[in-house]
Structure 1
Amino acid sequence: MRTLPVLVYDGDCAFCTSCVRFAERRIGPRCEATPWQFADLAALGTDERRASHEVLWITPPGRVHGGARAVAKLLLSAGGGWAVLGAALTLPPVSWAARGVYRLVADNRQRMPGGTPACAVPPARRPPAA
């Protein structure tokens, strides 16, 4: 059984990879970070469609959090001031705004600093809106 949460991200996306490296250096989350392309997604309780659509935070017992909620969990795990910011991201109306901003950034990650055309998620691989 895993003892640390797993942060699953798109390793083919330069923007996503840069964000994870920044978090590892500056924020210090308590987790294992792995690109979904190298992860055993079924063992983690998720699939390629979801992992290619959003960053995932998977707890040791197997609960999967995606998108802005995954970012909040990452910040909470770091403690200190980061945890305060993470907690704020879980509370309405901040959580509503965070979901919208996350989706806007994720859907346009190829346009973000460091992003490339390879970062774009083809519409056919995006899950339907919840």
Structure 2
Amino acid sequence: MTSADPVLVFDGDCAFCSSCIRLAERYLRQTLASGGWEARPYQFADLAALGVTEERAQREMLWVTPAGRVYGGAAAVAKLLLRSGNAWAYLGGLLELAPVRPLAAAVYRWVAGHRHRMPGGTKACSLPRR
């Protein structure tokens, strides 16, 4: 990763999240058109340097740009897809459209809230209570 690459912050204790990141690294990196990105578990990331709190990193996946802009949840997924190029970029662009954004956010929140029940998920994947 260079200083020009964004960072994808995720919950490294969650088996479902880690599986999703492995899939992204496997399939999305093959089509990189506009540069790289790095995935980091929030447990091993310098969150202060990235400008995010641990509470937020526990709650949602985060996309942090080199300029320090932070996108969370479905917006982070959209940014990852856009960065990956090719057909993935079209899907990322779709997720950013105003009519689709609320639906994408709702689906992301539902998946995040139920990630311990998803394939590969465990009790450790449960979100902390607010």
TM-score (norm 1): 0.92
2:64 to 49, 58, 61: 58
> Residue in 2 aligned with 1:76?
82
6-15 vs 90-99, which moves further: 90-99
Q: Superposed, which structure 2 residues align to 1:1-130 within 5 Å?
A: 2-28=3-29, 30-124=36-130
What stretches of structure 1 move > 2 A for 4+ residues in a row?
none
TM-score, scaled to structure 2: 0.92
Structure 2, unpaired ranges of 5+: none
Identity fraction in percent: 60
Name the amino acid aligned to 1:80. N
The gaps in structure 1 that reach 5 residues or longer are 125-130
RMSD of Structure 2 on Structure 1 (CA): 1.1
Instruction: Give aligned pairs, total.
Output: 124
Distance 1:79 1:35 in 2: 23
